[in-house]
Structure 1
């Protein structure tokens, strides 16, 4: 199928807005497993869905510390060889105050929230989505375009034209393949990778119901 080819694997990985990564903090290696956003300025906008983990000793046993942020609580689950223990708090510090180790660090540090790349990902989440009511917000739309589409498409494409024309038409449905072809020079070939980037871009500006073709249909998509 080609999925064992490094170039193809990398191409698909490049589409992901987030990939699990780890970094060294003191003697710990903290894994960032998932990113979540919120409007909480005190937490620098991290929010529900954020998950991280590391390995350390708890009660003299090598253990996995799994941390997660939910809607109204902060949770640490410690997995040892023969036991699972969970701590829940109202904020990062209160939950870590219940754990009898690593007192020299703050909960913010142990969750991995002070890492520069984590902050970058959270910022990108803040600006990488919008809705139809934001289509006239040029700055926001440009940020989303740069994040989802710019590096995969023709540099001179007038992507704003798609939204300008769409807002003017009576129907809320467009035929995507034809619409995109009209944005590019004559005889320009829209590659599959580029088309998927367009789909990602459109989904993140509020478009729903992107219907792809299958092998028995003509190459068309409706939104």
Structure 2
């Protein structure tokens, strides 16, 4: 058939944007059918649209697991013969797999395929080709660079312009001695009081902050205590935030 001929194979796949990645994990086969990128460190650079499947037993039945990364969460659906048996969304792959309670010998990142060396290689290639722009807090006085990051993370997602001068977020924070912010409370510096945020908006601003050198931007629920850490000027500090 010619599939052992390297030149024929290269010609056949010349216009194919992505070839599924097959990852063997003991007896489990993980198929990464779509990859996408982000500046999110919690997802090791993977982003919205990342999609993959695996087949293993759930409640004693050989089932199809469909896993994906959404705007700011991960999703897991389990199907048996077309019937959905399980659904869950959470902030990280590890939390999803801790909840479902199977395959405990692996962490969620491994089962999502994200930390696989070949997947990481493809994510890096995609990142270079898409010219994702990032910076650190040392660059926050460079408004031209911040504007590019704003275009990339806010404007491209078509977020409604109901806020005032967004650059104040960075100029005000940069002047603070405290490197910790509370999210999404900080957004009320530029949004009207009592503004009701949509998940899409929060996801876009998290992406903006991450691309600007912050990590672990975590949403708070009422009466919830969360330890958050944000890397700022190369220093990690932690605090307990209460909302």
> What TM-score results when the alignment is normalised by the length of structure 2?
0.48
| Partner of residue 98, structure 1 | 99
| Partner of residue 65, structure 2 | 65
Matched, 1:15 2:20: no
CA apart distance, 1:42: 3.2
For 1:52 and 1:81, the matched residues in 2 are separated by 18
Which of structure 1's runs of 4+ aligned residues deviate more than 6 A?
none
User: What is the RMSD computed on CA atoms of the aligned residues?
Assistant: 2.1
CA apart distance, 1:5: 7.5
Greater gyration radius: 1
Deviation by residue 1:137-195 (Cα, 9 ceiling, x = unmatched) = xxxxxxxxxxxxxxxxxxxxxxxxxxxxxxxxxxxxxxxxxxxxxxxxxxxxxxxxxxx
For 1:87 and 1:130, the matched residues in 2 are separated by 32
8 Å CA contact 2:23–2:113 kept in 1: the answer is no
Q: Which runs of 5+ in 1 are unaligned?
A: 132-223
> Residues 29-178 of structure 1 correspond to what in structure 2 (within 5 A)?
29-81=29-81, 83-84=83-84, 85-130=86-131
CA apart distance, 1:43: 2.4
Deviation by residue 1:66-86 (Cα, 9 ceiling, x = unmatched) = 100011110011011363021
For 1:8 and 1:41, the matched residues in 2 are separated by 38
Cα gap change, 1:130/1:105 in structure 2, threshold over 3 Å: closer, same or farther? closer
CA apart distance, 1:114: 1.5
Answer with 70-79 or 85-94: which moved more. Answer: 85-94
Q: Which runs of 5+ in 2 are unaligned?
A: 133-243
Decide which structure has greater strand share: 2
CA apart distance, 1:8: 5.8
Secondary structure of 1:31's match? Answer: strand
Aligned pair count reads 128
Cα gap change, 1:47/1:60 in structure 2, threshold over 3 Å: closer, same or farther? same
